[in-house]
């Protein structure tokens, strides 16, 4: 019941998608938006997102394995496979912030994603995404977008210059015409 209530409260704050103002890109430390270090899901590597993905179009998604939106892994993988050679990167950040829907270990998450959905796009360590308790990347994204994820599978779209250009609710599927058209225009 608690999960249903949290989900319904999250729905009240969801917008179908919003564009982020170009002049609203400042981070508190003055560094580029993606200038944060995160750990890969397999734990073998620490990655500076700016150094690794600058010059790419990046879609950042908070994921969960036991969510009503988990099927979006399939669409995210298809999107990644279709556009990675043109410069798209899909980055997954598992989070257990909503309804305890990502309770597994990082190894369990990695196996689930690979075996169930054939996920090849980069996945990173479990992340906190909620306002007031967000990890540094999501703190930056939430502040610049003016909205934090209200549920799992919220999407942030970043252009080749490292600027956040749009934020999409969980209801925006990876094959949404609006999202795909925007990505194609940036590639």
The catalytic site residues sit at: 67
DSSP bridge pairs for 20: none
Taking the C-alpha atoms of residue 7 and residue 98, their distance in angstroms, rounded to an integer, is: 8
Taking the C-alpha atoms of residue 165 and residue 101, their distance in angstroms, rounded to an integer, is: 28
Taking the C-alpha atoms of residue 41 and residue 112, their distance in angstroms, rounded to an integer, is: 12
Residue 131, φ and ψ in degrees, nearest 5: -55, 135
Residue 57, φ and ψ in degrees, nearest 5: -85, 130
Evaluated on CA atoms 70, 96, 152, 93, the torsion sign reads: negative
Contact 153, 69 (CB under 8 A): yes
């Amino acid at each position: 019941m608690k999960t249903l209530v949290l989900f319904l409260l999250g729905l009240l704050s969801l917008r179908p998608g919003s564009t982020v103002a170009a002049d609203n890109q400042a981070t508190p430390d003055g560094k580029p938006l993606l200038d944060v270090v995160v750990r890969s899901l397999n734990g073998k590597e620490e990655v500076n997102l700016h150094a690794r993905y600058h010059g790419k179009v990046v879609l950042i998604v908070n994921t969960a394995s036991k969510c009503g939106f988990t099927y979006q892994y399939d669409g995210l993988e298809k999107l990644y496979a279709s556009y990675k050679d043109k410069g798209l990167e899909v980055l997954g950040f598992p989070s257990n912030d909503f309804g305890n829907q990502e309770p597994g270990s990082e190894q369990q998450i990695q196996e689930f994603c690979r075996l169930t959905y054939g996920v090849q796009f980069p996945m990173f360590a479990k992340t906190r995404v909620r306002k007031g308790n967000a990890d540094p990347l999501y703190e930056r994204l939430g502040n610049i977008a003016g909205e934090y994820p209200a549920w799992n599978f919220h999407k942030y779209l970043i252009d080749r210059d490292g600027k956040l250009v749009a934020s999409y609710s969980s209801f925006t599927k990876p094959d949404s015409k609006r999202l795909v058209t925007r990505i194609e225009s940036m590639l």
